[in-house]
């Protein structure tokens, strides 16, 4: 079949065909190659399929999601599967569904696959199988890509083709390479005695195997705690050791940190129930096995100092010098749970796939557009792309990368197919509404806070605007080139942020008065809340680079915070919408109020210019007449003048019933002081 | 004293006294020496001169004369000539013999001369006062010493006001004590205005109004201006437009609201209050009968402050004391504010801003939120969901769907009208009213291409849906739904049906419903026009019913209305006369345009609902405002005018103020006072915004209007007002969070320019082509290190020594 395809392609594109002949090897060509049929690979495949692009997914296993077939070892996913939110808004509900991939098919919602809040990993495997099958995604299973290299070609999209080789020496050629391999290579440490350490990937998951044992766990992440949680009830005690101190995700707002569901050991440690946590550099460790098979902890330093290769007895143990040394008790087992890293091994040097620096070394270096720093046309998706927002947002997890994958797809559509970033054009009167709608329901903005942003591009004279959803904010400066949209008249950037000094490992996130209730102090909001940046012109790359530390964006011309809300419902007319409208009005120097037709009528006869709402509604024969009741309310509020002549000179209106109603309405009008203690309920809970 | 002397010497005005003996110096002979005859013959009209009458120079007058000579040059610049008139011994004319002539200089202004009288005794003062009673007012000033700034200010004022008031000056503290009730501070100057002109009773002293401010030229000027203003101003126009001396001088104006019945008493009250407030506020008497006031009937007092843009406050007060307290407290507060202004100005402003910013000023949002507790009668309206949406569309012939968002004010306002529509249409067969809350079901809304709300679509079984694009009002929506029940255009099979259609009797669904019908008549040959008409009818579906007749006898039908096919027959609702219109336009768009135009009335009653249709013509408006229906004669004349010119250059219409009360708002904006009705107005809505009022003394006839319009065109008429050209700016400022952040966290390097200087250590220079992620890493690493470093050793467990040595070891390994 391969030669047939090749021949067909040769007929279609002679020059590429001839190249193949020269190189002598048979290549299967696709515009897009995706490596890995995990969640991000399938997500990318879905979007390519929807756009009718020529793509293929290579999966080394016989089924999608092979990582989930093995991991997590104890099978409990820590991504929430919230089946009830009290809302029917499907977009909103994705904010609390961390497992589903994006698709148009309502059958492919994860809540149909599991009833558990923390589902079993098998459900994920089934889900991914269905996702690939129901959507008829083109996945080539049992194909392990073992080598990737480049073939220079000036005709190619990116100046080169990607040449992929699988385990059977079959070659593939692609114009664009999407790497969705995740991070699956276990992190190991080497120290004297590390041969006695069992790995998370193979350790027994049966608690019985640990009965009456003393266990040391290396690592401080969710896999370490998950392992501990599993055997907590049967062991003598468990000690955990790792370089960094434990970071609780509820304190850091980072889902990759230790989740409360796994932290049973913290409980027993703090309640002095024999289990314990220790901090130390694993590379300084050494493990010695005594004659009874017990494992003793010592320091590499002592081992290096010993003079002979004598037996265990000659080795200094810390407790010899310091008789209260913490880990002086011998262990029965030592388990390594140190996480995974990206597989760099399959890429030819020419691709310059470099590991990140510092704590991002497990990820390849990529740009905020998810394109590799070393190779144009190579995009990293999914968990492996987490260097963009490591320890900040959700880009390393399904509920985050499903959106960044869509963003990458949109970038590619624009770059290679001239399909500009999807956008909707609205009249300016819809400006406040369109923002309120999105900040209340958009899941991408919410999950990928501070990473993906909605962009509003203003049209000339601010009479209309164009709305772009979920653009990677890190490449804001390249917006025109990346989206095919023009931004000559200024723009708004809408993102979600936590308070700048709120989250963190050492922070007390339960302090009193942590929640802001008043709109005028919204900028001090601590919980996730919408922030709108206004730029009179697109920030330049230099400005992006020189932005203040911890700021997702450079200094704007104006900024607005919508005050945090306990229910994350930002639809309150006075606390949320009114201040936003004032902000937008002042940025655009216009009046964005709504008016009843009657007011527009008056303006039409008494002013040469009309406010936008009248111009775009009333004048186009779509004025808002309003019911009589509403009209009365507006009059009572002093916002609409009642010109009905009050001819009857009597003191009381003729109709007594009407009088009483008037009284009622007047009572309504008494301004109610905000109930301060209710505004700040967040503190009490 | 010497400093004062310097000032005195350099001043261009004269002084009466000269206590010191300055030796005579030679001076430029700008001082003319004339004989009285010469002097009076040389007086020029309109020129002021300073004259000094002297018998012969006595030693005591010598320094005074010297000062006059010195000031001559300076005074010349001001057009004042300095003249010394030598009075011959035998001259007994008034100026020469007058007592203490030596001490006086006369200021001649044209032929009038005024003097500042200096008094030393109470008797002198009373004499002057008595002499003035019933004739003119007196300005009495006390200065503790001459040659002071206050003294000069009084003299300068006298120069300006000397012709109007008698100025009297004293340095005697006794006089001051006697003229004031309280114990005056004799060390400070004081000025009293004595209202002698009003006083006719010689036994009564003149009323006095003391000036409370310091004696400066400006304050005296202000005080005299206020004293000169009428005690009570009568107002017959919109109080918002009233401006008096008081307002111009920054003082409030108190209106006493009066009615015909109580006018005399009100006037007395007003005068009483005016006396109390003299110098502090103005008082005006406003007759409610003459001004159309939109305030509570009980209101009896109004307060207008000089601050621009502050609306008049209407109040209900019990007695006059309250009025006075109101004004005095206000000015006291203002005084305090003024004192504190410097420190607190900014804070105060921001405070004020914040208070207003929080208040809802969107009439629709506010009205809806005031109504939110009322439960809407939504039983008639089916709430559709993602599950039920498609099946619901299949159930009924017509499904009306309102797409809205439950948090959005305009949507909710429309939902209220929609419930009224449901009420109107209750029992109408074949129509299902339903709604989709896009906040709950964004999927449907996206799929149905509803990108903004509210939106209404009418789904017809087996046909494409129609988006409602009319007014968001109960009537309009009901009519649209009713008319959409009939397919558009409706194919009529027989001539009887066609006639019935024109009479509004066919189809029967609409027979009870007032509507305009449009019938396209085609001979079979004209299929192209017919197709266009079919499409146009589709587009206009809901707005107008369209029918089609193309049977063999189509010609006969059209001939009846004096047109030949293809033609349109238009039967307006109300009057059932049928107009025939030849159909020349072939394109759909042209035809739609043409039909829309034909549907417009020739002389419509303009309403809130229909104005936009006429606005689209972009022509000036000639509107007859009427309280109730317009008279038959006016109506006939206007109709003649409108019909007379088929290609009318303006929209002739009328407005019923009873039906469209907001028309009063229009008139209020045009005229200070409500004109008598009916009133004919020409408004250049789209060019220049000028408003002209047809002269009320002329009767409204076609001829009169036409000649008036001619005059307008020729620019012979003066516009009554011009529509504001103002842009719609933000009504209030927004919270400036950027500034708040900078104030609260000054170290926050918000300014990119600052940032570099502030934190150079944190950001080592990097390759300019690099990207943000890399840029961020150094700081991240340091952070990670900081967090990680305490855990470098097994905290508190491993001997320190070991840790340190280990460190050293590792380094040597590298």
Q: What is the residue-averaged pLDDT of chain B?
A: 74
At A489, is the pLDDT very low, low, confident or very high (cuts 50, 70, 90)? very high
The yes-or-no verdict on residue B12 having pLDDT over 50 is: no
Shortest alpha-carbon distance between residue B709 and chain A (Å): 19
Cα first-last separation, chain A: 65
The answer to whether A597 and A603 have CB atoms below 8 angstroms apart is no
Per-residue model confidence as pLDDT tens digits over A515-524: 777 888 888 8
Full DSSP string of B641-662: HHHH-TT-SSEEEEEETTT-TH
The yes-or-no verdict on residue B364 having pLDDT over 60 is: yes
Please indicate whether, in this complex, the C-beta atoms of B405 and A437 are within 8 angstroms of each other.
Answer: yes
According to the model, what pLDDT value does residue B722 have?
A: 87
3 state SS of B669: helix
According to the model, what pLDDT value does residue B362 have?
A: 93
Per-residue model confidence as pLDDT tens digits over A114-130: 999 999 999 999 999 99
According to the model, what pLDDT value does residue A100 have?
A: 96
Minimum mean pLDDT range among A292-296, A509-513, B94-98: B94-98
Per-residue model confidence as pLDDT tens digits over A17-56: 334 433 445 789 999 999 999 999 999 999 999 999 999 9
Interface of B with A in 356-415 (CB under 8 A): 357-358, 360-371, 374, 385-386, 405, 407-410, 413-414
- B575 or B141: which leads in pLDDT: B141
Picking from B288, B794, B805 by the largest number of A CB atoms within 10 A of its own CB, the best residue to mutate is: B794
CB proximity B349 to A under 8 Å: no
At B66, is the pLDDT very low, low, confident or very high (cuts 50, 70, 90)? low
Average pLDDT over residues B474-480: 91
Chain B residues close to A595, C-beta within 8 Å: 363-364
| Residue listed under structure tokens 């238009």 | B570
% of chain B with per-residue pLDDT over 90 = 14
Tokens of A552: 């997702």
What percent of the residues of chain B are helix, what percent strand, and what percent coil, each to the nearest 5?
40, 20, 40
Per-residue model confidence as pLDDT tens digits over A554-606: 999 999 999 988 888 999 999 999 999 999 999 999 999 999 999 999 999 99
DSSP-derived secondary structure letter, A100: P
Containing B768, the helix (H) or strand (E) segment is none
Please indicate whether, in this complex, the C-beta atoms of B771 and A560 are within 8 angstroms of each other.
Answer: no
The yes-or-no verdict on residue B766 having pLDDT over 70 is: no
Domain A194-338: top CATH class: alpha beta
Interface of A with B in 281-300 (CB under 8 A): 281, 284, 299-300
- A236 or B146: which leads in pLDDT: A236
**Rounded distance between C-alpha atoms, residue B152 and residue B164, angstroms:** 19
Picking from A545, A646, A666 by the largest number of B CB atoms within 10 A of its own CB, the best residue to mutate is: A545
The answer to whether B98 and B67 have CB atoms below 8 angstroms apart is no
The answer to whether A427 and A464 have CB atoms below 8 angstroms apart is yes
Full DSSP string of B585-605: --SHHHHHHHHHHHHS-SSPB
CB proximity A441 to B under 8 Å: yes
Same-fold call for A28-184+342-409 versus A194-338: yes
Residue B594 main-chain phi, psi, to 5 deg: -65, -45
The yes-or-no verdict on residue B112 having pLDDT over 50 is: no
Tokens of A348: 């030819």
The yes-or-no verdict on residue B802 having pLDDT over 80 is: no
Q: C-alpha angle A629/A632/A635, rounded to 5°?
A: 155
**Rounded distance between C-alpha atoms, residue B395 and residue B432, angstroms:** 9
The CB-based long-range contact list for B772-777 (8 Å cut-off, 24+ gap) reads: B772/A368, B772/A474, B772/A544, B772/A545, B772/A547, B773/A365, B773/A366, B773/A367, B773/A368, B773/A387, B773/A388, B773/A474, B774/A357, B774/A365, B774/A373, B775/A545, B776/A549, B777/A356, B777/A357, B777/A358, B777/A360
**Rounded distance between C-alpha atoms, residue A19 and residue A25, angstroms:** 10
Burial class (CB in 10 A: 0-12, 13-18, 19+), A662: middle
A426: which strand partners? A465
Among the partner-chain residues A356, A359, A665, the one whose CB lies closest to the CB of B784 is A359
Interface of A with B in 605-664 (CB under 8 A): 605-612, 618-627, 629-631, 633-634, 636-637, 639-646, 649, 651
Average pLDDT over residues B531-551: 85
CB proximity A253 to B under 8 Å: no
What percent of the residues of chain A are helix, what percent strand, and what percent coil, each to the nearest 5?
40, 20, 45
**Rounded distance between C-alpha atoms, residue B95 and residue B106, angstroms:** 9
CB proximity B761 to A under 8 Å: no
Full DSSP string of B106-164: EEEETTEEE-EEE--SHHHHHHHHHHHTTT--EEEEE-SSTTSHHHHHHHHHHHHHTTT
Among the partner-chain residues A357, A578, A636, the one whose CB lies closest to the CB of B360 is A578
Per-residue model confidence as pLDDT tens digits over B340-353: 444 444 444 444 44
Alpha-carbon dihedral angle through residues B172, B176, B178, B181, given to the nearest 10 degrees: -160
The answer to whether B719 and B692 have CB atoms below 8 angstroms apart is yes
Per-residue model confidence as pLDDT tens digits over B384-411: 999 999 998 888 888 999 999 999 999 9
Average pLDDT over residues A209-213: 92
Q: What is the residue-averaged pLDDT of chain A?
A: 85
At A547, is the pLDDT very low, low, confident or very high (cuts 50, 70, 90)? confident
- A95 or B92: which leads in pLDDT: A95
The answer to whether A505 and A245 have CB atoms below 8 angstroms apart is yes
The yes-or-no verdict on residue B332 having pLDDT over 90 is: no
**Rounded distance between C-alpha atoms, residue A573 and residue B732, angstroms:** 16
DSSP-derived secondary structure letter, B67: H
ipTM field: 0.85
DSSP-derived secondary structure letter, B437: E
Domain A28-184+342-409 has CATH 3.50.50.60: yes
Residue A400 main-chain phi, psi, to 5 deg: -105, -50
CB atoms near residue A40 (< 10 Å): 28
Please indicate whether, in this complex, the C-beta atoms of A322 and B798 are within 8 angstroms of each other.
Answer: yes
**Rounded distance between C-alpha atoms, residue B619 and residue B617, angstroms:** 5
| Residue listed under structure tokens 């276990």 | A186
Q: How much is the pTM? A: 0.70
The yes-or-no verdict on residue B605 having pLDDT over 60 is: yes
According to the model, what pLDDT value does residue B73 have?
A: 63
Given CA atoms B339, B345, B348, B349 in this order, what sign does their dihedral have?
positive
Residue A171 main-chain phi, psi, to 5 deg: -105, 145
According to the model, what pLDDT value does residue B586 have?
A: 73
Q: Which CA distances in Å does B45 have to B112, B120, B161, B641, B793?
A: 9, 34, 18, 60, 107
Chain A residues close to B805, C-beta within 8 Å: 301
**B507 preceded by a cis bond (ω within 30 of 0):** yes
CB proximity A163 to B under 8 Å: no
Minimum mean pLDDT range among A365-379, A485-499, B36-50: B36-50
- B223 or B365: which leads in pLDDT: B365
At B175, is the pLDDT very low, low, confident or very high (cuts 50, 70, 90)? confident
Per-residue model confidence as pLDDT tens digits over A130-179: 999 999 999 999 999 999 999 999 999 999 999 999 999 999 999 999 99
Closest alpha carbon to A428 in A573, A611, A576, A560: A611
Full DSSP string of B363-400: HHHHHHHHTTTSPP--TTSEEP-TTTHHHHHHHSSEEE
B142: which strand partners? B170, B190
A185-186 and A340-341 beta bridge pairing: antiparallel
- A353 or B750: which leads in pLDDT: A353
% of chain B with per-residue pLDDT over 70 = 71
Among the partner-chain residues A618, A646, A665, the one whose CB lies closest to the CB of B612 is A618
**Rounded distance between C-alpha atoms, residue A395 and residue A447, angstroms:** 8
3 state SS of B627: coil
Average pLDDT over residues B159-170: 82
Chain B residues close to A244, C-beta within 8 Å: 787-788, 791
Closest alpha carbon to A342 in A38, A73, A30, A57: A38
Shortest alpha-carbon distance between residue B713 and chain A (Å): 20
Domain regions of chain A by residue span: 28-184+342-409, 194-338, 423-506+513-588
Radius of gyration of chain A (CA): 31
% of chain A with per-residue pLDDT over 70 = 88
3 state SS of B316: coil
Containing B579, the helix (H) or strand (E) segment is strand B578-582
CB proximity B730 to A under 8 Å: yes
At B196, is the pLDDT very low, low, confident or very high (cuts 50, 70, 90)? confident
What is the biggest distance separating any 2 CA atoms in chain B, rounded to whole angstroms? 129
Closest alpha carbon to A181 in A367, A411, A345: A345
According to the model, what pLDDT value does residue B10 have?
A: 37
Chain B residues close to A579, C-beta within 8 Å: 357, 734-735
- B352 or B188: which leads in pLDDT: B188
Please indicate whether, in this complex, the C-beta atoms of B729 and A284 are within 8 angstroms of each other.
Answer: no
């Amino acid at each position: 079949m391969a030669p047939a395809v090749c021949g067909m392609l040769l007929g279609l594109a002679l020059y590429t065909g001839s190249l193949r002949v020269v190189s002598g090897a048979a290549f299967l060509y696709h515009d897009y190659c995706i490596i890995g049929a995990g969640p991000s690979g399938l997500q990318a495949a879905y979007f390519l399929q929807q756009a009718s692009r020529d793509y293929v997914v290579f999966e080394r296993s016989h089924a999608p999601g092979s990582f989930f077939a093995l991991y997590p070892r104890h099978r409990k996913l820590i991504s929430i599967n919230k089946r009830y939110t009290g809302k029917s808004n499907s977009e909103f509900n994705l904010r609390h569904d961390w497992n589903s991939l994006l698709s148009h098919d309502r059958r492919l919602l994860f809540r149909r696959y599991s009833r558990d809040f923390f589902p079993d990993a098998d459900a994920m495997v089934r889900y991914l199988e269905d996702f690939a099958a129901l959507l008829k995604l083109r996945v080539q299973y049992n194909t392990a890509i073992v080598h990737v290299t480049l073939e220079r070609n000036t005709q190619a999209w990116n100046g080169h083709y990607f040449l992929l080789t699988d385990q059977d020496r079959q070659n593939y050629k692609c114009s664009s390479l999407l790497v969705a391999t995740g991070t699956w290579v276990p992190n190991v440490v080497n120290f004297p005695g590390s041969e006695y350490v069992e790995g998370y990937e193979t350790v027994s998951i049966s608690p019985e195997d640990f009965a009456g044992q003393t266990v040391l766990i290396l690592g401080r992440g969710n896999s370490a705690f998950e392992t501990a949680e599993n055997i907590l009830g049967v062991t003598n005690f468990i000690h955990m050791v790792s370089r960094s101190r434990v970071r609780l995700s509820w304190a850091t707002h980072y889902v990759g940190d230790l989740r409360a569901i796994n932290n049973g050991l913290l409980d027993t440690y703090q309640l002095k129930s024999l289990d314990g946590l220790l901090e130390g550099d694993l590379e300084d460790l050494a493990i010695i096995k005594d004659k009874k098979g017990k494992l003793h902890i010592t320091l590499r330093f002592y081992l290096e100092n010993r003079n002979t290769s004598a037996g265990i007895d000659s080795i200094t143990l810390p407790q010899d010098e310091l008789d209260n040394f913490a880990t002086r008790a011998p262990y029965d087992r030592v388990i390594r749970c140190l996480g995974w890293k990206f597989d760099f091994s399959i890429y030819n040097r020419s691709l310059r796939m470099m590991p990140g620096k510092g704590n991002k070394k497990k990820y390849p270096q990529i740009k905020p557009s998810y394109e590799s720093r070393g190779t144009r046309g190579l995009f990293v998706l999914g968990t492996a792309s987490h260097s963009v927002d490591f320890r900040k947002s959700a880009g390393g997890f399904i509920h985050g990368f499903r959106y960044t994958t869509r963003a990458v797809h949109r970038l590619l559509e624009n770059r290679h197919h001239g399909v500009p970033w999807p956008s909707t054009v609205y009249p300016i009167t819809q400006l406040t509404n369109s923002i309120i709608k999105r900040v209340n329901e958009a899941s991408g903005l919410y999950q990928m806070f501070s990473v993906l942003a909605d962009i509003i591009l203003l049209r000339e004279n601010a009479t209309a605007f164009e709305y772009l959803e979920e653009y990677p904010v890190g490449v804001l400066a390249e917006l025109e080139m990346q989206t095919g949209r023009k931004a000559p008249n200024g723009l708004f950037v809408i993102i979600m942020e936590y308070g700048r000094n709120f989250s963190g490992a050492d922070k007390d996130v339960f302090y009193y008065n942590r929640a802001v209730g008043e709109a005028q102090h919204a900028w001090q909001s601590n919980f996730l809340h919408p922030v709108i940046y206004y730029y009179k012109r697109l920030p330049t790359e230099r400005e992006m680079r020189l932005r203040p530390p911890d700021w997702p964006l450079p200094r704007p011309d104006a900024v607005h915070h919508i005050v945090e809300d306990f229910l994350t419902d930002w639809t309150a007319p006075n606390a949320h919408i009114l201040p936003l409208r004032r902000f937008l009005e002042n940025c655009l120097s216009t009046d964005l109020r709504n008016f009843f037709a009657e007011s527009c009528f008056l303006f039409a006869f008494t002013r040469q210019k009309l406010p936008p709402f009248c111009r775009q509604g009333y004048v186009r024969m779509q004025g808002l007449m309003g019911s009589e009741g509403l009209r009365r309310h507006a009059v009572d509020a002093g916002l609409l003048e009642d010109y009905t002549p009050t001819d009857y000179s009597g003191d009381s209106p003729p109709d007594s019933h009407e009088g009483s109603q008037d009284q009622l309405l007047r009572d309504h009008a008494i301004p109610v002081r905000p109930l301060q203690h209710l505004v700040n309920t967040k503190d009490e809970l | 004293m010497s400093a004062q002397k310097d000032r005195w010497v350099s001043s261009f005005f004269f002084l009466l006294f000269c206590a010191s003996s300055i030796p005579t110096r030679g001076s430029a002979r700008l001082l003319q020496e004339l004989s009285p005859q010469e002097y009076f013959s040389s007086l020029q009209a309109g020129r002021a001169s300073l004259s000094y009458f002297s018998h012969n120079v006595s030693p005591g007058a010598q320094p005074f004369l010297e000062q006059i000579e010195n000031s001559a040059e300076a005074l010349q610049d001001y057009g004042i000539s300095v003249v010394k008139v030598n009075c011959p011994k035998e001259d007994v004319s008034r100026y020469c013999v007058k007592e203490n002539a030596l001490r006086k200089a006369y200021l001649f202004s044209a032929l009038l001369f005024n003097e500042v009288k200096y008094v030393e005794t109470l008797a002198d003062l009373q004499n002057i006062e008595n002499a003035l009673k019933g004739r003119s007012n007196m300005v009495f000033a006390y200065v503790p010493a001459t040659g002071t700034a206050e003294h000069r200010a009084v003299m300068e004022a006298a120069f300006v006001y000397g012709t109007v008031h008698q100025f009297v000056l004293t340095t005697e503290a006794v006089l001051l004590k006697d003229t004031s009730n309280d114990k005056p501070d004799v060390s400070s100057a004081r000025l009293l205005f004595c209202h002698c002109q009003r006083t006719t009773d010689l036994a009564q002293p003149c009323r006095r109004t003391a000036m409370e401010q310091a004696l400066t030229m400006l304050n005296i000027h202000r005080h005299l201006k206020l004293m000169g203003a009428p005690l009570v101003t009568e107002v017959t126009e919109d109080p918002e437009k009233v401006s008096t001396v008081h307002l111009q001088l920054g003082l409030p104006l108190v209106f006493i609201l009066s009615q015909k019945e109580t006018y005399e008493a009100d006037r007395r009250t007003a005068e009483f209050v005016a006396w109390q407030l003299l110098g502090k506020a103005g008082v005006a008497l406003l007759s409610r009968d003459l001004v159309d006031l939109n305030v509570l009937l009980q209101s009896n007092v109004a307060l207008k402050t000089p601050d621009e843009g502050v609306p008049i406050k209407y109040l209900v007060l019990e007695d006059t004391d309250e009025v006075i307290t109101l004004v005095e407290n206000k000015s006291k507060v203002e005084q305090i504010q003024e004192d504190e202004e410097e420190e607190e100005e900014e804070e105060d402003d921001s405070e004020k801003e914040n208070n207003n910013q929080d208040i809802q000023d969107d009439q629709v949002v506010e009205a809806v939120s005031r109504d939110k507790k009322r439960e809407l009668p939504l039983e008639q309206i089916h709430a559709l969901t993602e599950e039920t949406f498609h099946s619901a569309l299949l159930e009924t012939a017509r499904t009306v769907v309102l797409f809205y968002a439950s948090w959005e004010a305009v949507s909710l306002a429309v939902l209220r009208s929609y419930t009224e529509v449901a009420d109107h249409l209750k029992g109408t067969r074949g129509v299902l009213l339903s709604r989709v809350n896009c906040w709950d079901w964004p999927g449907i809304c996206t799929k149905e291409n509803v990108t903004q709300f509210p939106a209404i679509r009418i789904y017809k079984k087996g046909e494409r849906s129609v988006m409602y694009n009319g007014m968001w009002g109960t009537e309009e929506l009901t009519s649209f739904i009713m008319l959409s029940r009939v397919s558009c255009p409706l194919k009529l099979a027989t001539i009887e049906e066609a006639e019935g259609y024109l009479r509004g009797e066919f189809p029967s669904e609409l027979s009870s419903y007032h509507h305009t019908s449009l019938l396209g008549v085609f001979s079979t040959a004209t299929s192209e026009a017919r197709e266009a008409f079919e499409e146009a009818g589709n587009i206009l579906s809901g707005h107008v019913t369209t029918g089609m007749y193309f049977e063999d006898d189509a010609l006969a039908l059209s001939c009846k209305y004096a047109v030949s096919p293809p033609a349109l027959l238009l039967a307006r609702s109300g009057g059932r006369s049928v107009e025939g219109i030849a159909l020349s336009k072939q394109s759909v768009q042209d035809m739609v345009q043409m039909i829309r135009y034909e549907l417009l009335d020739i002389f419509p009653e303009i309403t809130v609902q229909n104005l936009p249709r006429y606005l689209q013509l972009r022509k000036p408006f000639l509107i007859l405002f009427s309280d109730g229906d317009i008279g038959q004669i006016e109506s006939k004349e206007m109709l003649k005018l409108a019909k007379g010119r088929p290609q009318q250059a303006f929209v002739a219409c009328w407005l019923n103020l009873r039906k469209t009360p907001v028309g009063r708002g229009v008139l209020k904006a045009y005229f200070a006072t409500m004109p008598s009705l009916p009133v004919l107005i020409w408004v250049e809505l789209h060019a220049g915004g000028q408003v002209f009022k047809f002269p009320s003394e002329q009767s409204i006839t076609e001829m009169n209007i036409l000649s008036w319009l001619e005059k307008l065109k020729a620019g012979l008429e003066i516009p009554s007002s011009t529509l504001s050209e103002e842009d719609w700016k933000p009504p209030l400022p927004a919270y400036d969070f950027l500034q708040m952040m900078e104030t609260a966290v000054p170290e926050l390097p918000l300014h990119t320019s600052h940032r570099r200087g502030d934190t150079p250590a944190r950001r080592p220079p990097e390759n300019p082509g690099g990207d943000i992620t890399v840029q961020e890493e150094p700081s991240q690493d340091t952070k990670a290190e900081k967090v990680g470093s305490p855990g470098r050793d097994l905290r508190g467990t491993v001997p320190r020594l070991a840790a340190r040595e280990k460190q050293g070891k590792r380094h040597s390994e590298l």
